[in-house]
Every structure is written in C-alpha cells, then in structure tokens.
Structure 1
Amino acid sequence: MEAKSERSVVVSGKTVEDAINNGLAMLGVRRDQVDVEIITEGSRGVLGFGAEHARVRLAVKVPAAPPVAETPPSPPKREGPRFRERRPAREPRHAEEVRQVEEVSVAEEARPAADVRETRIEPGEGTPEAVGREVLDELLRLMGVHASVDTYLGEDLADEGQPAPIVLNITGEDLGILIGRRGETLRALQYLVRLMVSHRVKHWTNLVVDVESYLARRRNALESLANRVADQAIRSGRTQALEPMPPYERRLVHIALRKHPRVTTQSVGEGERRKVTIVPKK
C-alpha cells in the first residue's frame, strides 16, 4: 500500500543503527512505521581522530486510504427451502482464561499527547536553575551539540500533591542522540548535571533535564496508555502486560492506576525485561 510521510526527523548516532534507534525514540514509533533514508553512514576515523557520526532521516508512514470498491448488484433471490443458520459454538470460558498474557507496546498504543503545560521562569544569578543552565550549556558545547536551554516549571512532570520541578529543556535540531534508547542517555545527562550543580551550590538540587519536552510528552503517552489497557483488561477479564520499561516509566504507570477501582498493577520479570502487568480485580 502506498504511504505518504507526515512527520520526519534527522538524527545522528555512532552507527546507522544507533541513529535509527535515536530517531524512533524521538518519534515514539516502531521501526516498521517509518521510512529510513541514510544520509551518511559515518566513519570511525584514524585512531579516534576524524570520526564522523552516521546521520539518517526518519519519516513516519501514514497509510493511504484504500480505494472504495463498487458493490456489484445482488442477483435476484430465489425462493427455496429455508435452513436455520448454525452459529459457531462459544469458546469455553476456561480456554479464554488460560490464554497467554498479551504484551502491549507503548509505540503501538501511543497517541498524540496533549499540549505540555509549562510556566517560563527567568533564573536569578547564583540560583540552582541558573547554575544548571550554565553547566548544561557547557556540557552541550563540549559534546559539540548546537542547542539552547530554556528553564520552566514542569507542571506536567509533578506528582500529585508535589510542587512542579524546575526543568532545563534543551531545544534545537538533531537532538535524538541526547535521548538515547529508552531515554538512557537523557537520564545519565540529568544525573551528571544534578551532581555538578549540587557541588556548586553546596546542596542537592532536584533539576530535571529534558529534550524538546520529551519527558512531558512521554509521561502523557504512558498515562493515556495505562488507562486504555486497563479498559482492555476489564473488558476481556484477562491480565494485560505492557512492554518492558525502565523503573521511572514503570512507576508512572503504577501511579496512573493506583486509584483505579477495577484493576491493580504489578511489576514482573527481571532486569531489562521487567514490565508492568495490569490485572482486573475479581
């Protein structure tokens, strides 16, 4: 089926595969949902010098509407003996209960998130947010990343009853490399910034580092996904499993459903395969 492109992004990585994974993380889609154009395959350089990252363009596919087929005229009905249509026997309930738990992917279920709520702030001299912005700007410069840093109160990142955190949001082009697989690179960058800022201001500072509001959009998508899959679990009467997630994202799913009257959540599995299951209450 012919497809046309609606969204696209140009990203880079150490290898072509790394660049593609960075782009998929930014767009929140699966590999089979994009067209990939390799701009440059990159090079390893000589003894580490002159190395160049691979760059690719990812374009999200949007299925074209199928052509409407004309319905041929129905042949005239002939009178004949009537037979009662036999309906297929219902599947026994016990067979339905022993089916394998279904695993739901965020990329499959994700829908466009609501607009990100944010309150812009101007950091004062010597404040943690001002130091954080200075530190992050310097780190980006040393990494060779051309981007700017804005500060705001992340209302969409605040837990219920907690104050909104101060967000250092990086904006620019080709920033998928800062997010990484499942947000691993972004979490490492945030940890480094917090450590350096806390050393400068002499107390621990809970700053959030984000890229193009990725964290807020991801949180909205996970909360929406959790509620939709909870509805599926209630309708089917079967446990539903989400795809494996890092601890921070599993926590968001547990929080989203902790007050749900008809389902409970559990984390199962080990290491990188650990995931959240949504269980209908009896």
Structure 2
Amino acid sequence: MTKLLASGKTIEDAVQSGLAKLNVKADRVKVTVLEQPNKGLFGLLGARDAKVELELLPDGVDQAIQFLLDVTGAMELTVEVERIETSDHIQINIAGSDMGILIGRRGQTLDSLQYLVNIVANRHSDRHLRIVLDAEQFRERRRQTLEALAERMASRVIRTRKEMMLEPMTSQERKIIHASLQTNSKVKTYSHGEEPNRRLVIALKD
C-alpha cells in the first residue's frame, strides 16, 4: 500500500497537505499522527510542525475492475472497461468481441459476474459500493424488451380478463415491469413464489 509522510502547522494542515499530494479524499486514507505540533517557547524556540502518515486504502472499484480483467483474460477475451459514477451506484461497462459469452442467456452470466464484482469491491471498502455491470448496453436493451413485454401482457390481461404469470425473473427485472405498469389504471402487478423461481403476475385491478 502507498504511504506518505506529510507535515503542517496543525494536524489538519498536515492531513490536507498529504491528501493534496495523493490527490484523494479523506475517506481513501488511514491517518496516523506521528508528532503533535508544538508552538515552542514564545512561538520560536523548539517550534515543531505536526507530522502524519497517510496510508492509501485499496479502492474497491479498482479491485473489482482488476478482477473483471483477470476473469475475461482467463476466458481469452480482449475487453475495454469504462467506469461511470452516479449518485447511487457505479456503472462498469464492458466492450469487446464475443460479449455474448459474458452476457449469457437473458443476462444470467452477466448477473453472476455482477454479483462477484460487488463482493470483490466491498471486501475492503469502508462504505457500501453498489456496482452495476453492463456489456454492450445489454441492460438498456433488456429494459426496453421487458417494458414492451409488460405492455403486451397487460393488454392481453385486459382483453381476456385473465391474469398472466410471467417466466421467473430476477428482482431487478421484476422491478422494471412493476414500474412500467405502475400508472396503468386497469392492471396491477405482484410477485409470486420463492427465489430463484419467483414470478411476476399481472392481473386486473379490483
């Protein structure tokens, strides 16, 4: 791990000096105070600055990306990774050839990789990181597919007046359909069954 010694008139000054040199925020370092400041006699004799040691903590996202590169390398895939930070999660986008292998059937392989990446990212992090893993914009395409499915099934329920039970889906996919039909005045949605075979049901409102 990277360690840096820094000094300043006060401990806070010393820490800020070290953070500036490392170009990181305070939550990325562990601070150890080595020497307390001393104003000395009359502010002159024996005056001593504060000294601190800043230890750079491992970045969970960097570790997650390295894990991802190790996995894709073992699969003999050449990929490019893009990191985007949003207000509530960190998006990691993967691009390259043969992305179908990483995505899997209905995104099952991608979901499994996302689960592992989140474990790696949070292993040493002092704050919870939520990482969303995507490949070739699969998540957006899947969302559009599910929203279209929701509208078709809702129309069928209204026409036949019979509820429809969809195939098993992940909680995230069920959430997309719930949200898509939330404003529909004629149908309601609810989940039925246990994971991993939990299904979403579309039914007429009472």
Q: TM-score, normalised by structure 2?
A: 0.61
* Cα drift, residue 129 of structure 1: 4.5
Structure 1 equivalent of residue 66 of structure 2:
134
The answer for the alignment partner of 1:229 in structure 2 is 153
The one-letter amino acid paired with 1:205 is: L
**Matched pairs, number:** 151
User: 1:143–1:200: structure 2 CA closer, same or farther, 3 Å change rule?
Assistant: farther
| CA drift at 1:226 | 0.8
Percent identity of paired positions between Structure 1 and Structure 2? 35
- Pick one of 215, 220, 227 that aligns with 2:139: 215
- Residues 214-223 or 193-202, more deviating: 193-202
Q: Deviations over 1:176-217 (max 9, x none)?
A: 121223322212211211121222433321011111111121
1:151 to 67, 78, 83: 83
Match of 1:183 among 86, 104, 107: 107
Deviation at 1:257, TM superposition (A): 1.8
* Structure (1/2) with the larger helix percentage: 2
Q: C-alpha displacement at 1:280, in angstroms?
A: 1.4
In structure 2, the CA distance between the partners of 1:177 and 1:231, relative to structure 1 (3 Å rule), is same
Unaligned runs of 5+ in 1: 1-123, 155-162
Q: Given that residues 182 and 246 in structure 1 are in contact (C-alpha distance below 8 angstroms), is that contact kept between their aligned partners in structure 2?
A: no
Paired residues of 2:77 and 2:97 also in contact (CA < 8 A): no
Contact 1:267 1:274 in 2 (8 A): yes
State the 1:166 CA deviation: 2.3
Following superposition, the deviation at residue 150 of structure 1 comes to 1.6
Mean Cα displacement is larger for which, 184-193 or 132-141?
Answer: 132-141
2-structure distance, mates of 1:274, 1:130: 34
Map 1:271-282 onto structure 2 (within 5 A): 273-282=197-206
Check conservation: 1:153, 1:167, Cα contact below 8 A: yes
Does residue 196 (structure 1) correspond to residue 128 (structure 2)? The answer is no
- Counterpart code for 1:181: R
**1-structure distance, mates of 2:184, 2:88:** 24
C-alpha contact 2:88 2:130 (8 A) present in aligned 1: no
Q: Which amino acid aligns with 1:252?
A: I
Q: What corresponds to 1:244 in structure 2?
A: 168
Q: Provide TM-score, normalisation by structure 1.
A: 0.46
Gaps of 5+ in 2: 1-22, 25-57
**Which of structures 1 and 2 has the larger relative contact order (alpha carbons within 8 angstroms, sep 6+)?**
1
C-alpha change, 1:270 and 1:195, in structure 2 (3 Å) is closer
2:102 maps to a residue whose letter is L
How far off its partner does 1:219 sit?
1.2
Q: Which has the larger radius of gyration?
A: 2
Letter in structure 2 aligned against 1:145: L
2: CA distance, partners of 1:260 / 1:191: 32
Distance across 1 between alignment mates of 2:60 and 2:147: 30
RMSD: 2.7
